[in-house]
Every structure is written in structure tokens, then in C-alpha cells.
Chains A and B, each alone.
Chain A
Amino acid sequence: MSSDRSADGDAEGTITRQRPIYTESQVIMTTVKVVIPFVLTYGLFITFHGTSSPGGGFQGGALIASVVLMIAFAFGIESTRAWLSNTLVVGLGTVGVAIFAAIALIPMALGGDFLEYTAYYPVLGDTLGLKEYEFVKYGMEAVEIGGIAFIVSGVLMGLFFALAAGFTPADLDVTGAASDAPTDEAVGDDASNAATDATGEVDAE
């Protein structure tokens, strides 16, 4: 990674400092190994206990995602990406949205309002053996666990991996030109520049 970089010595005879090849830090790996079980447990606790104590799906999902972030920081981002497939990360968010939508929309099909949990009672009350007011609590619990915690953890992991993948400076082109356009030819030619700008903006919008 940085083995080709040496200290600024202009003449021969000056000792150039040779950096060693990057190795994962023993300190960080050990700390992450110690801390991760507690963080994961705490995240699950906050998620599952969200209806009756401070916390909830958002905070718990963020903590669960931070476990993956810590593993990536300690043991290398690329190996973590290989271990945790993109399908799983994207699938977490997708399944979360699907569960949330299902729980929220089925009461409307049953004649209630959006997210009206008590609309489940005439259908599921006997099979689950729950009273009507209990549907509010467990419905909220299901939304927080199956919906929000999945979405938040999946999206946070995905954003982290997307950020860690890095970017080429062409992606940061603020004019809105497409990043894969051959920008070398367009330098100094205002007309073609404007043309690519216009098409780029049309594509973006």
C-alpha cells in the first residue's frame, strides 16, 4: 500500500526511510475481538427491548451494523466484504422494507388504517391467543425488529462498503458529466464540454 513511498530525500547518501508493508494492527484486532460480543448483545437487547425501554430498531440496527464496521476496520475491509456477500447486505435492507410494508399494508386490506395493528385481532386473535391490546405491542415489536432494524443495519453496512470501495476523482466531477466519458478530449473545447454537461445533467435528472 505504502511500500513505494519513501521520505523526501533529494540526494544520494541520505537514508530513505523504508516503510514496512501494511499489517493489521494487533491492538485493534484484540480490542475488537473483546468488544464485539458485548456490542452485538447490546444491539440485540436494544432492538428487542425497544417497545418498553429507550432504544428501538434504529439504534439497535446501527449497533449491529457497527459490529460489521469494527470487524472491517480490524481485519481488513476486502476480506470482510468477501465474507459478507453483497447479496446479504442488500437483502437485509430489501427484506426489511418488504416486512415493514407487509405489516403496514395488511391492516388496510383487512379494513383498518395504515399500521393499525388491532386490525389483525379478528383474524389472528384466536390462533395466537393474544388479546386485542397485545397486538399493538407485538405489532410494533415486529415492525422494529423485522422492519427497521433490518433496514438500518443493511443500509449502514452497504453505505460503509460503498464508501470503503473508494472512488476515482472523475466520479467527483461537479459539472455532472458522465464519469466514463473521455474527458481528455473535451478539455479546452467549450462547446463539447457544454454538450456533455447538458447530456450529463439530463441523464442525472
Chain B
Amino acid sequence: MMATARIGLIGVFLVLGLFFTLVSAVGVIRLPDVFSRAHTASQADTLGAGFALAAVALTLGWQSAAVKTVLLLLFIFITNPTAAHAIARAAYEEGVEPWTTGDDRR
């Protein structure tokens, strides 16, 4: 019973991780400018990587490698949004105008 639930949870986490990573990849390709791309690359990608690593940690069970995986998860949660923040901030400092609808629309 426990094993079945665990395998099911691993599957759910993997599918969710794949889904959010796919959303992130599509967003990076399809969205119009730097700011929206940085936004999708930070949010959806962090969640996708988080779910995938959670599935890995569940698969490994109680051992030292699982602890490393959880640490990796923690650092990805910290650093990935910060990297996107740095990119968006640098783009703003360089004078990239945000994409808008309406008159400014290209």
C-alpha cells in the first residue's frame, strides 16, 4: 500500500515537473520580450525543477543522496529567481523598454 502510494506520488511529481518545464520552455520561446521571458524562466522552471527533484528524492528514499537532492532543491529555489531578477534588472538598466499592448505594440 505504501509502496503503491509512493510510486504514484513519484509519477505525479514527475508529470507535474515535466509539465511546468514544458510551460517554461514554451514561454521562453514564445513570449515577446526579456521581462516576460525572465518571468516564465524563473517561476515555471523553478517549479518544474522542484517537482522533478522532489520525485528524485522520493525515489531515493532515506539515504544521503536524498539529502543532497533536497539541498539542491533548496538552492535552486533560492538562486533561480535571483538569476532571473538579475537578468531583468540588467535589461532595465540597459534601457530595454517593456513590451506593452496598445500603441507601443510592435
> Which residues in A have their C-beta under 8 angstroms from that of B94?
2
A1: interface (CB < 8 Å) = yes
A161 to B: closest C-beta gap in Å: 18
Give complex CA distance A38, B76 in Å: 13
Most interface-central of A2, A31, A34, A38 (chain B CB within 10 A): A31
Q: Please give the number of chain B residues whose Cβ is less than 8 angstroms from any Cβ of chain A in the complex.
A: 11
Which residues on A sit within 8 Å (CB–CB) of B86? 25, 28, 73
A11 to B94, CA, bound (A): 24
- Total chain A interface residues with beta-carbon distance under 8 A: 13
Q: B78 interface residue, CB < 8 Å from A? A: yes
Residue of A nearest to B95 (CB): A5
B 85-98 to A, binary, CB cutoff 8 A, 1 in contact else 0: 11001000111010
| B-side contacts of A7, CB under 8 Å | 97
Interface residues of A in 7-50 (CB under 8 A from B): 7, 22, 25, 27-28, 31, 34-35, 38
Contact of B85 among A22, A25, A38 (CB under 8 A): A25
Question: Chain B 63-88, CB within 8 Å of chain A: the 1/0 string?
Answer: 00000000000010011001001100
Q: Tally the A-B contacts, defined by beta carbons under 8 Å.
A: 25
On chain A, the residues within 8 Å of B89 by CB distance are: 25, 28
Neighbouring A residues of B78 by C-beta, 8 Å: 31, 34-35
Which one, B75, B82, B93, contacts A38 given CB within 8 A? B75
A76 → chain B, closest Cβ, in Å? 13
Residues of B within 8 A of A28 (CB): 82, 85-86, 89
Distance of A95 Cα from B54 Cα, bound (Å): 43
**A33 to nearest B CB, angstroms?**
11
Chain B contacts of A5 at CB under 8 A? 95
Min CB distance B91 to A, Å, is: 12
Bound Cα distance from A28 to B93, whole angstroms: 15
Nearest chain B CB to A204's CB is how many angstroms away?
32
Q: From B97, which residue of chain A is reached at the shortest CB distance?
A: A7
Q: Which of A1, A2, A31 meets B79, CB within 8 Å?
A: A31
CB-based contact B93/A22 at 8 Å: yes
Given contacts A25-B89, A38-B75, contact A31 B82 (CB under 8 A): yes
Q: Name the A residues within 8 Å of B93 (CB-CB).
A: 1-2, 22
Closest 5 CB pairs of A and B: A31-B82, A27-B85, A28-B86, A5-B95, A25-B89
The 15 sampled A-B contact pairs (Cβ below 8 Å) are A2-B93, A2-B94, A2-B95, A7-B97, A25-B86, A27-B82, A27-B85, A28-B82, A28-B85, A28-B86, A28-B89, A31-B82, A34-B78, A35-B79, A38-B75
New A-B contacts (6) at CB < 8 Å, excluding given A28-B86, A73-B86 = A1-B93, A5-B95, A7-B97, A28-B89, A35-B75, A35-B79
B residues within 8 Å of A by Cβ? 75, 78-79, 82, 85-86, 89, 93-95, 97
